[in-house]
């Protein structure tokens, strides 16, 4: 088993040498901003998205130990005369600013990848990333132009979930723009997410699904009707594949955070990393904790064993909390370069290092 850690200054592979023992096996793209990493268990290929400050976003693919640059998702030509502005009135770039989601298609779709980007375009590849096509049906959806900046200045598509029962059923989430769903492989899209609440907009928009700042969306693999949302305003749970959500309140120490992962087999179990909302965005009282529910959100345990409990200012971004296929092994990385692993579903944690660059994405991979 490996942990892939994408950071502001490189991609690190941690290798499990024996139970509870991990070491850095490789450090790749050192000095480069690696915004996303993906291991495709179907093919054994690893993908890394690089964000060169000057030279733009690039994608690299590693097969059998050799990296090569491949096509990066590119937006179609902007129609002549089209004026589209961002929330500051500046022209919205029809250009990939960041790769913010990268996922494999279904098990019945070898070679298929999905890529979410800032400023909001969703792309699909059917050839292991050699070429990409923008999902025009979503990009040209009239309501897409209501998406706004949230986690970044521009709208960002950060979550892509493929229903394990039917690969044409895809659910995405946007910050901000709420949750969208297709049941025909992307031919048509519909907004979902009734029941979520946004308190950063006027009252008449509070419950508008398109106004929702979903920070991260997760789905239970064995019960895909169960979805979890870590939202700007709290935690929400769905039992109907994102059509409706129920808010979970009064979770200590905070309902604010960025990341959530769902247990693959237990629909009632999910993990979150709480922070102080929202202008501060640091752990409450300087204590780094993980919250776990095992009863669908009725109660939460605050897990602290092995995590720093004083003067910890680690923020865990939305892609930086990972869970393995068993639901027992978790890992998360922080903005201050910490990386922790638990091999008992979060009951206790081991710090593998606290000297990494800021961590943007953590994934488990086969060795």
Partner 1 sequence: MPRIEFTPNIQRHVACPPMTVAGTTVAEVLASAFADNPRARAYVLDDQGALRKHMIIFVDGVAIADRTALSDAVGENAVVYVFQSLSGG
Binding residues vs partner 1 (CB under 8 A):
52-56, 58, 69, 72, 74-75, 77-78, 93-96
Token couple for 140: 């040209």
Which of 50, 312 has the CB closer to partner 1? 50
Shortest approach of partner 1 to residue 96 CB, angstroms? 6
Minimal distance in Å, beta carbon 172 to partner 1?
Answer: 20
Closer to partner 1 by CB, 134 or 356: give it.
134
Q: Which residues of 315-324 are buried (b: 16+ CB within 10 A; e: fewer)?
A: bbbbbbbbbb
Q: Which of 151, 184, 191, 153 is nearest to 170 (CA)?
A: 184
Q: How far apart are CA 311 and CA 282, in angstroms?
A: 10
In terms of CB distance, is 72 or 316 closer to partner 1? 72
Shortest gap between Cβ of 113 and partner 1 (angstroms)?
18
| 132 or 271: CB nearest partner 1 | 132
Residues 101-114 as b/e (b if ≥16 CB within 10 A, e otherwise) read: bbbbbbeebebbbb
To partner 1, the closest distance from the beta carbon of 138 in angstroms equals 17
Distance in Å, CB of 50 to partner 1, minimum: 9
Closest approach, Cβ 88 to partner 1, in A, equals: 15
Based on CB atoms, which residue is closest to partner 1, 32 or 39?
Answer: 32
Angle, CA 179 vertex, CA 53 and CA 175 arms, to 5°: 30
Q: How far is the CB of 56 from partner 1 (least distance, A)?
A: 6
Contacts of 2 (CB under 8 A, 6+ apart): 13, 14, 15, 16, 25, 39, 364, 365, 366, 367
The Cα–Cα gap between 106 and 103 comes to 9
Give the number of other CB atoms < 10 A from CB of residue 36: 26
Q: How far is the CB of 93 from partner 1 (least distance, A)?
A: 7
What's the closest the beta carbon of residue 156 comes to partner 1, in angstroms?
Answer: 16
Look at residues 274, 337, 344 and name the one whose alpha carbon lies nearest to residue 5: 337
In the bound state with partner 1, the residue whose beta carbon lies nearer, of 56 and 110, is 56
CB nearer partner 1, residue 47 or residue 271: 47
Residue with Cβ nearer partner 1 (134 or 331): 134
Question: How many Å apart are CA 196 and CA 203, to the nearest integer?
Answer: 13
Q: What is the 3-state secondary structure (H, E, C) of 103-153?
A: EECCCCCCCCEEEEEECCCEEEECCCCCCCEECHHHHCCHHHHHCCCCCCC
Q: Which residues of 199-217 are buried (b: 16+ CB within 10 A; e: fewer)?
A: eebeeeeeebbbbbbbbbb
Structure tokens at 291: 């919250």
Q: Which is nearer to partner 1, 11 or 322 (CB)?
A: 11
């Amino acid at each position: 088993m490996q942990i892939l850690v994408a950071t502001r200054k490189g991609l690190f592979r941690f290798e499990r040498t024996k139970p509870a023992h991990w070491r850095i096996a490789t450090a790749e793209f050192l000095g480069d901003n690696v915004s996303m990493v993906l291991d495709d268990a179907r093919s054994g290929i690893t993908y890394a998205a690089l964000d060169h400050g000057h030279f733009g976003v690039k994608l690299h693919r590693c097969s059998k130990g050799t990296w090569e640059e491949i096509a990066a998702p590119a937006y179609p030509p902007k129609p002549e005369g089209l004026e589209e502005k961002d929330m500051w009135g500046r022209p919205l770039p029809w250009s990939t600013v960041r790769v913010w989601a990268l996922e494999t298609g279904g098990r019945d779709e070898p070679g298929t990848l999905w890529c979410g980007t800032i400023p909001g375009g969703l792309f699909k590849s059917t050839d292991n990333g050699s070429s990409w096509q923008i999902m025009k049906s979503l990009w040209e959806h009239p309501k897409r132009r209501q998406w706004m900046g949230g986690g970044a200045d521009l709208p960002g598509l950060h979550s892509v979930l493929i229903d394990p029962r039917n690969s044409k059923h895809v659910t995405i989430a946007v910050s901000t723009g709420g949750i969208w769903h297709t049941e025909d492989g992307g031919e048509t899209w519909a907004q979902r997410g009734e029941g979520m609440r946004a308190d950063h907009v006027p009252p008449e928009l509070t419950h508008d699904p398109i106004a929702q700042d979903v920070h991260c969306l997760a789905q239970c693999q064995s019960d895909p009707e169960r979805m979890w949302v870590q939202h700007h305003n709290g935690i929400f749970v769905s039992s109907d594949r994102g059509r409706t959500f129920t808010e979970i309140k009064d979770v200590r120490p905070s309902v604010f955070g960025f990341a959530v992962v769902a247990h693959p087999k237990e629909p009632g179990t999910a993990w979150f990393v709480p922070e102080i909302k929202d202008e501060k965005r640091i752990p409450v009282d300087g204590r780094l904790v993980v919250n776990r529910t095992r009863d669908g959100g009725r109660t939460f345990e605050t897990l602290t064993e092995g995590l720093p409990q004083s003067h910890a200012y680690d923020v865990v971004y939305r892609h930086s909390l990972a869970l393995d296929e068993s639901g027992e092994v978790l890992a998360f990385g922080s903005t201050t370069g910490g990386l922790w692993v638990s091999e008992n579903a979060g009951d206790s944690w081991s710090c593998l290092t606290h000297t990494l660059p800021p961590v943007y994405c953590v994934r488990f991979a086969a060795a």
